[in-house]
Amino acid sequence: MKYLPKAVHVCLFLLLLSTGITVNAQQKDILKFAVVTDTHIGKQGNNTGLKAIVNDINKNPEVDFVLHAGDISDFGYDEELGEAKALMDGLSKPYFIVPGNHDTGWSGSGGLIYDKLWKEQKFVKDINGVRFIGFSTGPYGRMSRGYVPLDQMRWLDSLIQVTPKQQPVIFISHYSLDEGLSNYNQVIDKLHRVNTLAVLCGHGHINKLFDYNGIRGIMTRTAQIRQGTLAYNVFSLTPDTLHVTMVEVGQPANQAWATLPMPPKKNKSTTKLSENNASVIDPQFTNVQAVWTYQDEGNIVAAPAVWKNSVLIGNLLGEFKSLDAANAKVNWRFKTGKSIHSSAEIAGNRVVFASADSNIYCLNAKNGKLIWKVKTMAPALASPTIERGVVYIGSSDLKFRAIDLKTGKVTWSFEGLAGFPPSKPAVADGKVVFGTWNKTLYALNTKDGSLAWQWRNDEKSHYYSPAMSIPVIQNGKVYMVAPDEKLREYNLGTGEQTFVTDQFRVRESLGGNAERNLLVAKTMQDTIVAWSTQGREPEPIMNISGGYGRDFSFSAPVFSGSTFYFGTTFGRVYAIDMEGKNIEWIYELSEDMINTVKPLADGSVVATSVDGKIVLLQAREKIGKLN
């Protein structure tokens, strides 16, 4: 069935608007559409699979249009997204798409190539009186829970305000609306404000029904070959029923696997869906409080920097700002062209950071005035390290640069990286060490940028690359962790791997204190560990329970004196006393991931969360002393 003529469309729309979809007895199907998801173009054979699905849909004259629920690519590479776009454009009927975590989470462009190909990461379309709304669920440039970005949450609010209350609405996102999405409760609340028929999703790779506090959720299985078949779902919306049928390409027709009455009878529940298995914070660990909290307009995936009495931070809206550390009032703002994933570094009165607009910026930390910028050939998501007047930073153009801090002149450039560097390099003893996606760890000579050595993890796929973790250098050794959950030690001079252990499941969050010969880490399994590096190999000296539950997000532990600090996937900030080998305090800032925090000389800590919160924390006894 094709789209109805305009006059009929308007009449049907008004009928739906005034009475709902249950009265149109002469219309058998209001809509019939296909949902395809998790095509993962980039994996071997998936391109021919998607081509077969496209051809199969094209042969079905009853399908009006197609929805794609994300993860159209496997790793967000430019070439993967380009091939996926070409395959989807082979459809002979309209299609609408939202990105998935594989399209944005590991993207070297910060999701910008997706935007270039499909214009936006959200959509709204009225078809035969039914409003279809698609939105992104991230994450962006970091392994964390998904989240609907703050600007899209505001966009959803604006749509809800202008959507007639009786107009049927179908939403689509990549993630299901549960604990995998950090702000799912807020999203569900918004969906209850309109006549939501269903929420469609992918991500889980199976056909599945959900109940989101009285709103139906429908997950579609992956389009990849499973049990020997390629498949997608066809949705048939009638005045009183929504039928969902899995179509297996080249196989006999299936019966509907879900038949749902329309309109749904929604009973909004106030019960919060289950979340992380974190324990309740023990009162003995609550001796900390917020001096102030600031809510940013954009999501934040960067660590804060501090210059004198100012906190400096960038957001995914492309804005870099300075806040007064005393009261969080904005001192100045600087707007870049695209999102900022980069954590700023400060030397003297200069602050350096990168932007996905393909520039590396140096600003005056006092007033935000541009001092210089260096143009790159692709988005720059990585963070800089400044050492002896030289800025060291990588970019998604597969180059690593050394830049003179004073003049902005590139002193050398190493080209041809195996993958893009998303994190911050470590510099010591004439070497700069950093990881990249595509499984490679590099050490370059700081003098001229020549390759000192490289190590490649050929045992695993690119998902296990030593990319996000910041290398720790101590006593002529490099320490690194990766998603394969192993701690590795390398000789700084030669690159020889001298030690490896999988005793503790450390994903990416590793830190150290060279003066104390310590390595520290948070693990994926609710423990906080430490090693001494004084001996021939790292020796475990601490292993305590954190009470934060499962954890998989990067937040490098950072020392101040004998205390180190880190954040968790589910929004907590921890202070750990290494002298007593115990938790000093815990603060719950958010339901979202905490970035690497910034401890200050007076014992306070600045922390940021992905949902745009910035906080200055201080232990209560220290606040008393200050007052």
> pLDDT for 131-159, tens place per residue?
999 999 999 988 899 999 999 999 999 99
> pLDDT for 287-318, tens place per residue?
999 999 999 999 999 999 999 999 999 999 99
At residue 165, φ and ψ (nearest 5 deg) are -65, -30
pLDDT of residue 28: 63
Beta pairing, strands 168-172 & 497-501:
unpaired
pLDDT of residue 25: 39
pLDDT of residue 9: 44
Average model confidence (pLDDT) for the chain?
Answer: 93
| Alpha-carbon distances, residue 364 vs 279, 331, 389, 467 (angstroms) | 44, 12, 15, 30
Q: Which of 475, 504, 414 is nearest to 450 (CA)?
A: 414
70 Ramachandran zone, left/alpha/beta (phi>0; psi -120 to 50): left
Q: Which of 102, 145, 100, 110 is nearest to 594 (CA)?
A: 145
Lowest-pLDDT range of 20-34, 365-379, 398-412: 20-34
pLDDT of residue 268: 60
Beta pairing, strands 431-436 & 123-127:
unpaired
What is residue 522's three-state secondary structure?
A: strand
pLDDT of residue 30: 83
pTM (2 d.p.) = 0.93
* Structure-model confidence comparison of residues 18 and 306, the more confident one: 306
At residue 610, φ and ψ (nearest 5 deg) are -60, -30
Beta pairing, strands 241-248 & 231-237:
antiparallel
| Residue 91 · residue 54 · CB < 8 Å | yes
Query: How many Å apart are CA 431 and CA 427, to the nearest integer?
Result: 6
* Structure-model confidence comparison of residues 19 and 376, the more confident one: 376
What is residue 486's three-state secondary structure?
A: coil
Query: How many Å apart are CA 307 and CA 300, to the nearest integer?
Result: 19
Q: Rounded mean pLDDT of 238-243?
A: 94
Return the exposure string of 589-599: e unless at least 16 CB atoms fall within 10 Å of the residue's CB, then b.
bbbbbbbbbbb
Q: Which of 133, 141, 94 is nearest to 114 (CA)?
A: 141
pLDDT of residue 351: 98
Give 545's strand partners: 527
Q: Which of 33, 114, 32 is nearest to 73 (CA)?
A: 114
pLDDT of residue 622: 53
Q: Which of 239, 234, 208 is nearest to 221 (CA)?
A: 208
Give 529's strand partners: 521, 543
- Supply the DSSP symbol for 44: T
Order of strands, sheet of 605-608, starting from the edge strand that comes earlier in the sequence: 288-295, 613-619, 605-608, 598-599
Q: Rounded mean pLDDT of 566-572?
A: 97
Asked if pLDDT for residue 624 goes beyond 70, the answer is no
- Give 539's pLDDT tier (boundaries 50, 70, 90): very high
Beta pairing, strands 410-415 & 399-404:
antiparallel
Q: Letter for the amino acid at 234? A: V
Non-local CB neighbours of 161 within 8 Å, separated by 6+ positions: none
Query: How many Å apart are CA 200 and CA 219, to the nearest integer?
Result: 6
* Structure-model confidence comparison of residues 492 and 625, the more confident one: 492
* Structure-model confidence comparison of residues 620 and 375, the more confident one: 375
| Residue 416 · residue 401 · CB < 8 Å | no
76 Ramachandran zone, left/alpha/beta (phi>0; psi -120 to 50): left
> pLDDT for 478-500, tens place per residue?
999 999 999 999 999 999 999 99
The rounded percent of the chain whose pLDDT value lies above 70 is: 93
Q: Rounded mean pLDDT of 179-200?
A: 97
Query: How many Å apart are CA 390 and CA 193, to the nearest integer?
Result: 54
Query: How many Å apart are CA 354 and CA 444, to the nearest integer?
Result: 20
First to last CA, the chain: 73
Domain range 6-261, CATH class: alpha beta
Query: How many Å apart are CA 146 and CA 176, to the nearest integer?
Result: 10
| Alpha-carbon distances, residue 495 vs 379, 410, 443, 453, 498 (angstroms) | 29, 26, 8, 6, 9
Beta pairing, strands 370-375 & 359-364:
antiparallel
> pLDDT for 333-343, tens place per residue?
999 999 999 99
Chain-centre distance for alpha carbon 98: 15
> pLDDT for 587-612, tens place per residue?
999 999 999 999 998 999 999 999 99
What is residue 88's three-state secondary structure?
A: helix
Chain-centre distance for alpha carbon 41: 20
Residue whose structure tokens are 């959803």: 156
Query: How many Å apart are CA 244 and CA 15, to the nearest integer?
Result: 24
- Supply the DSSP symbol for 229: B
Query: How many Å apart are CA 88 and CA 102, to the nearest integer?
Result: 17
CB atoms within 10 A of CB 348: 11
Query: How many Å apart are CA 175 and CA 145, to the nearest integer?
Result: 10
Q: Which of 507, 524, 523 is nearest to 464 (CA)?
A: 507
- Give 620's pLDDT tier (boundaries 50, 70, 90): confident
| Residue 122 · residue 152 · CB < 8 Å | yes
Peptide bond into 264 cis (omega under 30): no
- Supply the DSSP symbol for 214: T
126 Ramachandran zone, left/alpha/beta (phi>0; psi -120 to 50): beta
> pLDDT for 251-290, tens place per residue?
999 999 999 998 887 666 544 444 566 789 999 999 999 9
Asked if pLDDT for residue 11 goes beyond 60, the answer is no
pLDDT of residue 278: 79
366 Ramachandran zone, left/alpha/beta (phi>0; psi -120 to 50): alpha
Beta pairing, strands 319-324 & 310-314:
antiparallel
